[in-house]
Structure formats: structure tokens, C-alpha cells
């Protein structure tokens, strides 16, 4: 069975709204999947692309922090793993000439999603997966990007 989780979007619903939605849906499936849907969550493959990949990583971190049922696999398609305005990567510089995600749009997205945490968003690993402590990474399921 496949579930596509819809979550609230910024700027109307900044962090942690989307992650809360994903956490609530995931925990409901784990707790009630058998009784309500007739499924047994014996093998869970969690997947996400772009911002959804960021949320999937955040969800795994929440599972670890809460000693909750872990997904068996994590499959990420071009996930947003570095959510920072302090680091400039070549891909960011290349986007200056691109039409797909120009820097102004990236900055607007950043400010919209993390608007209540702009001063320290780089350090909050539930926003910025690259800041995930090594102690938590050791518990991650097998992951494919």
C-alpha cells in the first residue's frame, strides 16, 4: 500500500507545520494501519523528493528521538539536505543564470519556511538535515539518494 502525505505549506504554515503533519500521518499509519486499513506495517519504505526529502529525513530524526517505529528504508530524490543561507555552493551560484529556481525564489522559500527560526535555522537539524548529529545518523535506516 502506498500513502502520499499532504502537508501544510509555507508561508501560511511555516516550520514545524509540515513536519508535524508528516509525523502525525506516519504515526497514525503505524498505530492504526492494522485496525483501520487491514495492513501490517512490517516493512515501511519512506520516500520523498525535494522538500519532501527534507521532511522524510526530519521524520526519521523524530522517530529516533522518540524511540518510534523506524522505516526500513529511506529513498530520497534530490532532497533538500542543506537548508542554509550562510553557505554558497556551486549549484546555488549556477542558479543565478537559471530560470528554474533563481536565488530570489530560493531566498523567499527559505524565509517563508523558517521564518520563526531565521537566526538559527542552520543549526536546527529538523530544518537543516546537514546539521543532524552523528549520534542520530548512526540509527538511520539504509538510505538511497
pLDDT tens column, 109-129? 889 999 999 889 889 999 999
Q: What is the pTM of this model?
A: 0.91
| pLDDT of amino acid 84 | 77
Q: Is 130 helix (H, G, I), strand (E, B) or coil?
A: helix
| pLDDT of amino acid 41 | 79
Mean pLDDT across 71-93: 83
Q: What is the pLDDT of residues 124-133, one digit of tens each?
A: 999 999 999 9
Mean pLDDT across 137-142: 97
CB-count burial class (<10 Å; 0-12, 13-18, 19+) for 78: exposed
Looking at domain 17-144, its CATH superfamily turns out to be Alpha/Beta hydrolase fold, catalytic domain (3.40.50.1820)
Q: 73-77 and 143-144 as β-strands: parallel, antiparallel, unpaired? A: parallel
**Is the pLDDT assigned to residue 90 strictly greater than 80?**
no
Alpha-carbon distance 119 to 131, whole Å?
15
Amino acid at each position: 500500500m502506498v500513502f502520499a502525505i499532504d502537508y501544510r505549506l509555507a508561508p501560511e504554515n511555516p516550520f514545524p507545520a509540515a513536519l508535524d503533519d508528516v509525523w502525525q500521518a506516519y504515526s497514525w499509519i503505524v498505530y492504526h494501519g492494522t485496525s483501520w486499513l487491514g495492513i501490517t506495517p512490517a516493512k515501511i519504505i519512506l520516500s520523498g523528493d525535494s522538500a519532501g526529502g527534507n521532511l522524510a529525513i526530519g521524520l526519521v530524526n523524530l522517530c529516533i528521538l522518540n524511540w518510534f517505529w523506524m522505516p526500513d528504508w529511506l529513498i530520497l530524490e534530490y532532497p533538500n539536505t542543506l537548508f542554509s543561507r550562510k553557505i554558497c555552493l556551486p549549484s546555488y551560484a549556477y542558479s543565478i543564470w537559471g530560470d528554474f529556481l533563481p536565488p530570489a525564489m530560493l531566498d523567499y522559500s527559505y524565509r517563508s519556511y523558517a521564518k520563526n527560526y531565521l537566526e538559527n535555522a542552520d543549526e536546527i537539524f529538523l530544518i537543516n538535515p546537514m546539521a543532524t548529529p552523528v549520534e542520530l545518523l548512526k540509527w538511520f535506516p539504509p538510505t538511497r539518494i
